[in-house]
Amino acid sequence: MISNRSLTRLFAAGLLLPFVAGAPARAEDFYAGKSISLYIGYEAGSSYSNYARALAGHIGRFLPGKPNVVARNMPGAGSMRSINFIYQVAPKDGTAWGAPSRDVAMEPLLYGSESKAAYKNPLDLNWIGSLNTEVGVAAVWHTAGVKTWEEAKDKPIIVAMASAHGGISARAVNALLGAKFQQVCCYGGGNNQNLAMERGEVQARIGWSWSSLASTQMEWLTSGKIRLLMQLGLQKNADIPGNVPLVLDLARTEKDKKALEIIFAAQSMGRPFVMPPGVPAARLAEARKGLMAMTKDKAFLAEAAKHHLEINDPKSGQEIEAILKTAYGAPTDAVAAARAAIKSGEIKIVRQPKKKKKKKAE
């Protein structure tokens, strides 16, 4: 056994320095003086961006070393650009976080070989947690002449579609519940879709996040300009009138219900945050702990309320993993039904190749 006096001599001689230098840095030592880049999958001003920037302003206080957090918008392909960057390119030391769409986690499951995700299994990424549990709604403009799902299900209704990559909710409801939503592409973000409803170009939005509606257009609901046909998710939101049915309760067969559970499972992931594969486990644990602590902080909650950000039922990283494991472990026939539902009526944008310009005769 080496005595304390011998250890002191070895330290003095520098003989133990290689062992000390090889030890992993403590989280507080690693983050001290560093910055975390938070890559947001949508443009500034979007709901995802607003949630992410609220987190960026506070999360550093809850991490060892109190790092600065810099929000960076990286929009593209429904946030697929940003999450592929996190998966493939971003540093794996805990200095890169992502704020992608919740839907990209289900890409490989719902699209199979056609998925644009660089990963095959979202559990290869490190999920930090989410600030809320989201529920989507099917909202129809008052001039459409319907007030309830029963009135709407057999009537053709023109629906705004963000991009050719989106529109999953409307296609799923068409295929599995027998609705007749007719999608029009491509309006981009929610503000453009809302403007299209006001102009009379479309009659509804299907899959509109309740938190976004509540923070930006609640007056439309209270004044009767829009009516809610259903809630889209795995559970109802207590703030939505109780007579608005949950999509799962409208399923006609148990198989259809299982397919709907797969399609709308991502709603329970709310506004998720993620780190690349390979991040040290201790750093991931600190990030998860910090996020959950922040969701109970008075200063953070006050800012969230100021910007009308709904912080309800936050999800831990472990809870997000459980949601993904359940969805990816669903019966094969339910997965096949879910894939068929979102493919039905899919809009394909065919880009024509640019014609080569003829060279002018000299």
Q: Half-sphere exposure of 2 toward its Cβ, with a 13 Å CA cutoff?
A: 7
Specify the pLDDT at position 77.
86
pLDDT in tens, 83-119: 999 999 999 999 999 999 999 999 999 999 999 999 9
SS3 call for 96? strand
Amino acid identity, residue 149? W
User: Which pLDDT value is given to residue 66?
Assistant: 97
Is 295's pLDDT higher than 80?
A: yes
CA–CA separation, 362 and 360 (whole Å): 6
Average pLDDT over residues 281-299: 98
HSE, CB side, 13 Å, CA atoms: give it for residue 114.
8
- The residues of the chain that CATH labels 3.40.190.10 are 136-265
Identify the band that residue 278 occupies on the pLDDT scale cut at 50, 70 and 90.
very high
pLDDT at residue 247 in the model: 98
Could you tell me where in the chain the CATH 3.40.190.150 domains are found?
Answer: 27-132+270-313
Topology (CATH level 3) of domain 27-132+270-313: D-Maltodextrin-Binding Protein; domain 2 (3.40.190)
Please tell me the predicted confidence (pLDDT) of residue 27: 61
Closest CA to 52 of 30, 77, 28, 83: 83
Is residue 342 a contact partner of residue 170, using CB atoms and an 8 Å limit?
A: no
Q: What is the pTM of this model?
A: 0.84
pLDDT at 348: 57
Given this model, what pLDDT does residue 352 score?
46
pLDDT digits over 116-140, tens only?
A: 999 999 999 999 999 999 999 999 9
Q: Tens digits of per-residue pLDDT, 19-73?
A: 444 445 566 689 999 999 999 999 998 889 999 999 999 999 999 999 999 999 9
Which overall architecture, per CATH, does domain 136-265 show? 3-Layer(aba) Sandwich (3.40)
> Does 335 or 163 have the greater pLDDT score?
335
Eight-state DSSP code of residue 311: -
Closest CA to 174 of 218, 194, 197, 204: 204
pLDDT confidence tier of residue 313, bands split at 50, 70 and 90: very high
pLDDT of residue 326: 96
pLDDT, residue 163, reads 73
**208 φ, ψ to 5°?**
-70, 125
Please give the pLDDT value at position 5: 57
Confidence of residue 189 (pLDDT cuts 50, 70, 90): confident
DSSP state of 351: P
Predicted pLDDT of residue 190: 83
Q: What percent of the chain has pLDDT over 70?
A: 87
